[in-house]
Amino acid sequence: MRIVILLAFAGIITALAMAGYFMMRRGRTGKGRDDAMMRALALRVGLSIALFAFILLSWRLGWIQPTGVPMGR
């Protein structure tokens, strides 16, 4: 379970870095740069939503249990 979540986080960070790279890269026209940046950001949003849905489904199916934060003694 942890490996899946870590891989998803790595994918999200990679997509964010790709979007930053495409934003900073200079070209003759900005059209290709903007399209690539928008695809990378859309991928990041999609991965984030998929990760949230996976965690919610995992909790619902009993694969993971919430531990909570103790409120003191």
Q: What is the pLDDT of residue 62?
A: 92
Q: What is the pLDDT of residue 68?
A: 79
d(CA 7, CA 2): 8
Tell which wins on pLDDT, 23 or 9: 9
pTM of the model: 0.79
Domain range list for the chain: 2-61
d(CA 52, CA 9): 11
pLDDT in tens, 10-66: 999 999 999 998 888 865 665 667 788 899 999 999 999 999 999 999 999 999 888
